[in-house]
Amino acid sequence: MQKKDELYAGKAKSVYATDDPDRLILLFRDDTSAFDGEKVAQLEHKGMVNNKFNAFIMQKLEAGGVPTHFDSLLSEQESVVKRLDMIPVECVVRNISAGSLCRRLGVPEGKDLDPPTFEFFLKDDERHDPMVNEYHIRAFGWASEDEVEQMKALTFKVNDILKQLFLDAGLLLVDYKLEFGRFKGKVTLGDEFTPDGCRLWDAATRDKLDKDRFRQGLGGVVEAYEAVARRIGVPL
């Protein structure tokens, strides 16, 4: 497979075209950012850890019946993925209160949420990813009613699979966000799953082992990512 032009450069990943019109190369860079790009840094080995972490999780999800864009690892920091027609919304599930939920609703951090909450957000950095609902999504033509229901069902299926995976390793899956797209007409997970896009706490101590370590200046970001990876069995 031949790597061609860069199509997109995000905050921590770059996407490249290939000689296969249905496949892309996803590069996990060592960059990290928070607060819509206001805080940025380069963290050595982060790209490698996230690439291998994501590959491991995607394979677990595929085995559990969740269609994903992941095809294969290509290098230490690159993976081959399917080219999707992306749906411009983020699906967020929260099992424990943290982050923006606490700020918006005035609830304390660390409250177990039963049932978990589900929220849609428009993927738009300039507008700070505003919350939207199913009516907005259908009215603006971002996705059909059936696609909305599929995204919800798949997001909760991911929760069922990964909550247990992490719990078995002594970790709590606090919350996470997912993006979906269409591949040959089928709704497909088109996002990474790494500690950059979810919150993970130690089940015993509730120590934060995710990107909040960077957001809150706690240090040891990559070390925390590596510790989580080792605990769930990611071969680094």
Mean pLDDT of 199-226: 97
- With a cut of 80, say whether residue 30 has pLDDT above it: yes
DSSP string, the chain: --EEEEEEE-SSEEEEEESSTTEEEEEE-SEEEETTTTEEEE-TTHHHHHHHHHHHHHHHHHHTT--BSEEEE-SSSEEEEE--EEEEEEEEEEEE--THHHHHH-PPTT-EEEEEEEEEEE--GGGT--EE-HHHHHHTTSS-HHHHHHHHHHHHHHHHHHHHHHHHTTEEEEEEEEEEEEETTEEEE-S--STTSEEEEETTT--B-STHHHHTT---HHHHHHHHHHHHT---
Question: Mind listing the pLDDT tens digit for each residue in 136-158?
Answer: 999 999 999 999 999 999 999 99
Nearest alpha-carbon partner for 152 in 180, 173, 113, 124? 180
Give the Cα separation of 69 and 23 in Å (integer).
9
- Percent of the chain past pLDDT 70, that is, above it, reads 100
pLDDT of residue 33: 86
pLDDT of residue 133: 98
CB count in 10 Å sphere of residue 50: 27
pLDDT of residue 1: 84
- With a cut of 90, say whether residue 34 has pLDDT above it: no
The pTM score is 0.95
Question: Mind listing the pLDDT tens digit for each residue in 166-211?
Answer: 999 999 999 999 999 999 999 999 999 999 999 999 999 999 999 9
8 Å CB contact between 58 and 193: yes
Question: Mind listing the pLDDT tens digit for each residue in 95-133?
Answer: 999 999 999 999 999 999 999 999 999 999 889 999 999
